[in-house]
Structure 1
Amino acid sequence: MAGTQSIPFPGSGASSAEPAAEPVREGAWRAVAVLTLLYWFGTLDRQVAALLIPMIKADLSLTDLQISMIQGLAFGLFFMIMSPLMGWLVDRYSRRVILFCGVVGWSISATASGLVKSFGGLFAARAGVGGCEASINPTAYAMLSELFPPKKLSLPMSLFVMGGNLGSGMSFLLGGGVIAWVSTSPQMSLPWIGPLAGWQLAFVVTGLPGLLLAPLLFTIPESRRPRTAGVTAAPSGFGDLWRHYRRFPVFYLTHGLGFALIMAFVVGLQSWNATFLMRAHGWALSDIGYLLGIFQVGSALIGLAFHGWAVDRLFGRGRKDAHLAYFALMCALAFPCATAAYLIDSGMATLLLYSLAYFFIMAFASIGPAALQITTPANLRGKASAVYMVGVSIIGTILGPIVVASFTDLLFQDEKALGWSMALFAALTTGLAGALFFVGRPAMRRAIDARMSAGA
């Protein structure tokens, strides 16, 4: 391996078709800024629904089952359905155009969430948000992996994911403000639309900015993909991806399942945090929104860049399993904090311990995809990212909130036992994920060695 780059990682089995590793491309950091901003507003709308659920339920007279379908199933199911299609498109067509269409689509669907007045309409609007937001991860991961060399990839990935964390935190702050406002002014009337409840206005406000920001995508560099005429075609179908998976099954299994469990940890606990603080500690919903938002934004600003820098530093020094080894440690640190958070008799202590646990594992959405991009040939990265996001959607987005509720209703059979349900859930997800990451380390080293050997 000649050259100054530490690990060139040419495409497995297609070295002639894949470009050698190169320095950070011109415009790469501008791409990080634009993608982060879009992810910020996309997640802002997605998470605000969690805090507004009590208002939506009361205004539309919905059942708990209908609420759970809107909160998880509507978004997660259509996100999962559209992810393979997005992955297929990402490996064939302009990633800027794909993401532009996705941003416009989810912005319209998010705005529509605030204009509907029935369960069916709200379900359809949230499904539209989920389906269109399936475009953000495969496109952003693939674009960043081609703009940055492997040893410098985790930091830009972490900054990109910071947008999602900031959006999630801002959603709680916005939701808290809406709840405080609606208590004194229940409705607002808009021309041609009529009166809107506070929760409807929140959806409209968080949905519209995406339409203004989408054109920024055309200010960033387009991806470079192996399309040169006469060059042997690299793998491009899901069958080729499956054959690649079969070469390194332990890595892809432990990696995918481990990070899906961490996603379940995040979504499952975030979905029930507000309810737990109301039910167990008597906090007002508006106060919960402000405090959750402040703590989450603070954790994101402090932690994400640090985690990305730390993993890049380990990987750049030759630690080929750096991503999984680092997260095995983070899971071990998060385990006691998250478990104790829901068993302690203090709402503020709950918030502090949860925030500390969240700080440890918050970079999962950047470190996981970074490891995937590094170990997967360039021609398969879009599809691999899509498959990864399907698993994350099923286990994390869809099942996470349901499992917590099932522990409460079926295992403990007591609404007051929500804290025990959340503590058990936190322990299982962090414990199992940490064990999977530890087991998967040798497999990751083998996968990277194979990519290096292919380009020797």
Structure 2
Amino acid sequence: MNGEQSVPLKLERTTLESAAATPRDQVMRASWYALFIMTLIHSTHYLDRIVVSIVIEPIRHEFGLSDSQLGLLTGLVYGLTFAVAGLPLGYLVDRVNRRNLLAIVVLCWSCFTAFAAFAQSFSQLLLARMAVGAAEAGGSPTSMSMISDLFPPRKRSTAMGVLFLSTSVGAAGSAIIGSYVAVHYGWRAAFLIAGLPGAIFASILLLTVKEPRRGAMDPARVEPKAMPSLKETARFLVGQKSLRHLFIAMPLAIMAISANSAWLVAFLMRVHHLDLAHASIVAGVTFGGFSAAGSILGGLLSDRVGKVIAGRRIGLAAATSLLAVPVAVAATLVENTPLAIASWFILAMLAFSTIPPTFGSMVSLAKPRMRGITLAGMQVVTNLIGYGLAPFMVGMLSDVVGGENSLRMALLIVMCGSLLWAALHFYCASRHFEKDMARAAQL
């Protein structure tokens, strides 16, 4: 390829990444531009996912809902349809034009978000959220598959960190919607406004971004012409020990994030007696500034510590998960409102720092023609267990515990338990990472 020599693959602790210093490492401006557009698109993904959590209290009062029903609405039905649609869409990611697929799904989830504004019952609102979950199942796998062909292995965690800056953009949008639109025009207007940006970004994507060539940024090798079958893909992925542990660790880490994002506004309103406008602003700063800081720092630090020993990327995720546990205790139990809010800020930063190294590592653990299904599979379990089950578990536990501290205790149990468990599997994944990465690079 332009006269460059194939680089021999070695099973050294310095890893394959250090051996792959080729012209592929020269990331083009077009790659950064494509990443910027995908980050904007992913921001609508996050906004349309969490807008229901921002207006959860007005919805609860209008329809007379319990916390269990709210947990169903904010997470479980979304996660279930996401899981159903995730693998078929991941199958398509490996086989069709990814740019076009991404444009289609973002347009769909934006429309379904807007449709929620017209719901006249709890069941209609559930159906709208189910449709959003099904459409969003194709968003992240498509974007991350494209990123793997736009950036070399040594820069993928950083690129993933930039992608997950989308949470800050989406959170900023949710803060505006919650503190102004919902307060002055009601929760239905909030859904309508949240659904608008996606159509704009889908058009920009189609007009200005090209589909990257698959495998363009991987160490030089000959890719088989035939597409691997689902059986071959499954056999290979199951054989990756580090990948198996990541498939457990990431959903558990997402559980803490999801419990936080789904219930933070309600928690601040019930426990610290903030009004909707101020609670929305706090949530916006939490998932705007501090989640963004976590994403960027997590990506940059993991790429830095992984330069010599790649497995240290995942080890960093294990360490931050452990560090987040006492912070979660403070966030839920501290009575002083400013101190509690500061704890929520730090918790969001630590929790989000685990995402870039995980997904950045995953694309290096799968062959190019297996990345769509791999990422889709991860998205299925993270959304079903993390984003789907966690909010419902918090709501159910809150109803079971009862009393004025029910939500406080439910959040404490779910977040601390999931973070401790995640840390264990991140550590186990780090021990097998280098060997599995070498296996993925072989023919």
When normalised by structure 2's length, the TM-score is 0.89
1:448 and 2:440 are equivalent in the alignment:
no
Match of 1:244 in 2: 236
Of residues 331, 343, 347, the one that matches 1:353 is: 343
1: CA distance, partners of 2:359 / 2:49: 20
8 A Cα contact 1:166 1:300, kept in partner: no
Deviation digits for residues 314-373 of structure 1 (CA, Å, limit 9, x no counterpart): 22x221213211101111221111112111111221111121121112133332211110
Structure 1 residue ranges (4+ consecutive) displaced by more than 4 angstroms after TM superposition = 1-9, 19-22, 61-65
Match of 1:390 in 2: 380
Match of 2:391 in 1: 401
2: CA distance, partners of 1:226 / 1:281: 51
Match of 1:192 in 2: none
Matches within 5 A, 1:104-183: 104-182=107-185
1:289 and 2:280 are equivalent in the alignment:
yes
8 A Cα contact 2:321 2:423, kept in partner: yes
8 A Cα contact 1:279 1:416, kept in partner: no
Q: 1:423 to 1:37 in 2, by over 3 A?
A: same
2: CA distance, partners of 1:142 / 1:124: 29
2: CA distance, partners of 1:59 / 1:26: 49
When normalised by structure 1's length, the TM-score is 0.87
Deviation digits for residues 232-258 of structure 1 (CA, Å, limit 9, x no counterpart): 43553321222112322x312211111
Of residues 27, 35, 41, the one that matches 2:44 is: 41
1:210 and 2:202 are equivalent in the alignment:
no
1:439 and 2:439 are equivalent in the alignment:
no
2: CA distance, partners of 1:404 / 1:365: 22
Matches within 5 A, 1:273-288: 273-288=264-279
8 A Cα contact 1:66 1:119, kept in partner: no
Deviation at 1:101, TM superposition (A): 0.7
Q: Which moved more, 1:382-391 or 1:56-65?
A: 56-65
1: CA distance, partners of 2:311 / 2:223: 32
Q: 1:300 to 1:413 in 2, by over 3 A?
A: closer
2: CA distance, partners of 1:236 / 1:284: 54
2: CA distance, partners of 1:66 / 1:418: 14
Extract unaligned runs of 5+ from structure 1.
Answer: 10-18, 183-197
8 A Cα contact 1:158 1:307, kept in partner: yes
Of residues 304, 307, 311, the one that matches 2:302 is: 311
Identical-residue share of aligned pairs (%):
25
Letter in 2 for 1:76: G
Deviation digits for residues 168-210 of structure 1 (CA, Å, limit 9, x no counterpart): 343133212234324xxxxxxxxxxxxxxx1111111110221
Q: 1:3 to 1:446 in 2, by over 3 A?
A: closer
1: CA distance, partners of 2:377 / 2:7: 33
Letter in 1 for 2:195: G
Deviation digits for residues 400-427 of structure 1 (CA, Å, limit 9, x no counterpart): 11222333333x4545232222222222
Letter in 2 for 1:244: F
Match of 2:293 in 1: 302
Deviation at 1:294, TM superposition (A): 2.3
Letter in 2 for 1:245: L
8 A Cα contact 2:93 2:142, kept in partner: yes
Match of 1:193 in 2: none
1: CA distance, partners of 2:109 / 2:155: 30
Match of 1:255 in 2: 246
Deviation at 1:124, TM superposition (A): 1.9
Of residues 416, 419, 435, the one that matches 1:427 is: 416
Deviation at 1:65, TM superposition (A): 4.4
1:379 and 2:382 are equivalent in the alignment:
no
SS at match of 1:147: coil
Deviation at 1:91, TM superposition (A): 0.4
Deviation at 1:2, TM superposition (A): 5.8
2: CA distance, partners of 1:444 / 1:150: 14
Deviation at 1:33, TM superposition (A): 0.6
Of residues 217, 220, 233, the one that matches 2:225 is: 233
Q: 1:415 to 1:233 in 2, by over 3 A?
A: farther
SS at match of 2:258: helix
